[in-house]
Structures are given as structure tokens and as C-alpha cells.
Amino acid sequence: MDSGRIRLAFILLFCIIAFGTVGYHIFEGMPFFDAFYMVLITISTVGFSEIKPLSISGRIITILIISTGITTMAYTIGTLLRMFIEGELGRIFGRRKLERNISAMQGHFIICGYGRIGSIICKELQEDSIPFVIIEEDPSKNSDLEKEGYLYINMDATSEEALIKAGIMSAKGIVTAVRSDAHNVFITLTAKGLQPDIFVLSRASDVKNEAKLIKAGASRVVSPYLLGGRRMAEVLKRPTVVDFIDIAMANRKLGLAMEEARVGDRSTLVGKNLIDSHLRQNYGVIIVAIKKTSGEMIYNPLPSEKLDAGDVIVVIGKKEALKRMSEIM
């Protein structure tokens, strides 16, 4: 809208200047430069005297220039100022509002890097209404971030200031998803230095760097190329299994989800075995695995498997049922 107005203003201004220049040249015999100069001092109302005494025709041209040119000039300047002031003020107030929203966040995730991997992570988190803030150094991505309605900070994620502004002290976890493994190591070290207990999920472009990221303090390391290669191999070897996982987990219309739930200290499930917990009967969920507090992972647990406080159960079921089940955990 504003671009259309400013274009119209400049077209009108050009037409008036061209009309005046040609008019003075024809009716007053002025050289084109003198005629152009005469139009400019008339429109700008600077008050300089006429280059030469004007005839009746010249005075009529001057009246037309004054009556239309000054208005057009004022409209053009006003439109430019409006665009500048509104744009600058909008950015300032928008930035302040963004910073206030970020500072008020609790239990959120910090996503470092809004590239191909980072954008997918953000989309998945947004679909499940999980709060997050993005740290992206490249300002050319701001329009995409604003279009998606994401909270973001334009800073270098390796700096302490950026992580503090992103609310690392109250964050649930941080994802280092920039392209450079070296930068992911620096981000991990900085994050752990500020918040030693924070969960750090790191991307490793090169599998050889996984050990370095773990040493830097990463809680988990994911190599997208390794996972992608394994998945493609699974499609070749077990296409039906992959189809089932895609349909059951990725098709949101089915309402299915795979979730993990921790057995709390005061949960009614503590001390019970799976058959006595009635999880399957009451909630229609499938117990896929149990991770014991010792770190042992029990796959396809038997009905006699006992649940202890701190155990994490992995289940598949309807989202509504999983939400109800979480109330007794």
C-alpha cells in the first residue's frame, strides 16, 4: 500500500516538473536547465527571485506549478516520513514486545540456528504448542521468522549474551542446530557454563564429531545424515514397518502418538506391575518399553513387570487417552 502511494507521488512530481520545464522553455524561451531550476525553486518555495520577468503565460504556468506542485511535494515528503517513522517505530516497539515475551518464558526450548534442520524442529514444536525461542544470526531470515510468528533473537548463538537473552536460566533445553559442528561445540560449552543442568541436544554434521560434542556437555547428539541413511535402508528392508510408523505417528488425523511418561514418587502406579496398573484396560495404550532409573531399557515388558518411582514408560495410544493417563503419573 505504502509503496503504491510513494510511486504515485513520484509520478505526479515528475509530471509537474516536466510540465513546468517544458512550459518555461516554450513560452519564456528559457534554456532547459534554467527552466528546470525555475520549477524547483517554485515548488520548494525557497523564495529566490525569478530568473527573468515572466509574461502572462509564464505566470499562469507558475500558478499551476505552485497550486499543484507544493501539494504534491508535501504529499511525497509526508508519505516518505510516514513510511520511515512507522517502519522504525514498528521495529522498535515490535522488538521490545518480542524481548518482553521472551523474558517471560519458562520451561521453553532454545533453538540455535534456523536452517533446514532448525526450521523442521520449530514446526514440530509449534504444532504441539511447545514454547521455544530461536537464535538466528542471519537477518535475512527475519521475514520468514516473523511470517511464522516465531519468537527470535538476531545474535550469535555462541555468545553468552545471546543465550541469556533467550532465557537459558529458565529454559528446559537447548538445541544446537547450526551447520558448523565447531560452532555447535562452542554453543554447548557456553550453555553448560551458564546452566550446567540444562538438556542439550546437538546436531553433528560429521559422525566423527559426536564424541567431541558429548565431551563438550551435549546430552544427546543426532547426526541427520546418519539417521537419514538408516531410514532409507529401513525403507528398502522393511517398507511395511516404516509405512506403519509413518501412518501411526505422522498422520495427525488418526490422533495417535508415542509418548513417554515418568512415574512420579506419589503416583498410584508405584509398586504395581503392569497387569495390576490397568493402563491398557483403562486407557487403551500399548506399553512399548520401560526405562528403569538405573538406565536399563526393558522392551516389550511382561505383564508382571513392576513399576517403580522414577521409571519412564514409553506408550502408544490416542492423544486424549495419553492426556488422561498423565494425570495418574
pLDDT of residue 220: 95
* Domains, the chain: 2-100 (1.10.287.70), 105-227 (3.40.50.720), 238-328 (3.30.70.1450)
Assess contact for 209 and 181: CB atoms under 8 A.
yes
For cell 538445541, the residue is 175
Q: How far apart are CA 182 and CA 179, in angstroms?
A: 9
pLDDT of residue 91: 64
pLDDT of residue 311: 94
Burial 298-329 (b: 16+ CB within 10 A, else e): eeebeeebbbeeebebbbbbeeebbeebeeee
Region at 285 (left for phi over 0; alpha for psi -120 to 50; beta for the rest): beta
Angle in degrees, CA 288, 289, 295, rounded to 5: 165
pLDDT of residue 47: 59
Residues of the chain with pLDDT under 50: 1
